[in-house]
Amino acid sequence: ILNVEQSPQSLHVQEGDSTNFTCSFPSSNFYALHWYRWETAKSPEALFVMTLNGDEKKKGRISATLNTKEGYSYLYIKGSQPEDSATYLCAFNAGGTSYGKLTFGQGTILTVHP
Amino acid sequence: GAVVSQHPSRVICKSGTSVKIECRSLDFQATTMFWYRQFPKQSLMLMATSNEGSKATYEQGVEKDKFLINHASLTLSTLTVTSAHPEDSSFYICSASGNKQPQHFGDGTRLSIL
């Protein structure tokens, strides 16, 4: 059973604060690491797909880094806004016969207060 | 972006009823569709992977006779919960993946069995 852990489970920040959270995953048989944003009553929205050790990706105020050797990824949000409030999910994609299957973490629930 | 439609969004029915959930990819051909289940405060758990025109591959512990999956076309997969009981009450969500596409999710179905 693959273990994908996210921390913290929940986070409350003030508008304008920068924040970050962590996803840890197995460091063996790595193929890709996905980040999704999931707003209430909507479908999960793909943010990033990261495949190479040392990858850094950015989308507006959101960025992510990847360390496959030690098995972790960080998601950063700069200058948080209320509309950033959502659950952020990471998902591990192993290679080989598990190709295509995603193992999700429990998510980090972010609440940004105006 | 790619759109996946899942229907219905909510179902409330009596114990013993069979419930069918549809997952459609609206603007791309989904060679693979995935069905997930989420219990409260837990992560999305993969139930099964279905490829168009072939039998679904179920994850360990998921009863294939209980959760019937059909993927008859490149745009439609269905999950039927047969003779549903209260313990089947959960949130079910599908995702669709095409050639070199990440997984795109539907909005999910909240199933409540009385």
At A24-43, the pLDDT tens digits run: 999 888 889 999 999 988 99
Classified as helix, coil or strand, A96 is helix
Q: How far apart (Å, rounded) are the C-alpha atoms in residues A69 and A1?
A: 19
Residue of B nearest to A9 (CA): B41
Task: Answer whether B47 touches A (CB < 8 Å).
Answer: no
Q: What length does chain A have?
A: 114
Give the rounded percent of residues in chain A with a pLDDT score beyond 90.
82
Classified as helix, coil or strand, A50 is strand
How far B13 CA sits from the closest chain A CA (Å)?
21
Binary contact (B105, A43; C-beta < 8 A): yes
pLDDT in tens, B55-102: 899 999 999 999 999 988 889 999 999 999 999 999 999 999 876 667
How far A81 CA sits from the closest chain B CA (Å)?
23
Average pLDDT for residues A60-77, to the nearest whole number? 97
Sequence-distant (≥ 6) Cβ neighbours of residue B55 within 8 angstroms:
none
Are B47 and B100 in contact, with CB atoms under 8 Å apart?
Answer: no
Task: Give the confidence band of A5 by pLDDT, cuts at 50, 70, 90.
Answer: very high
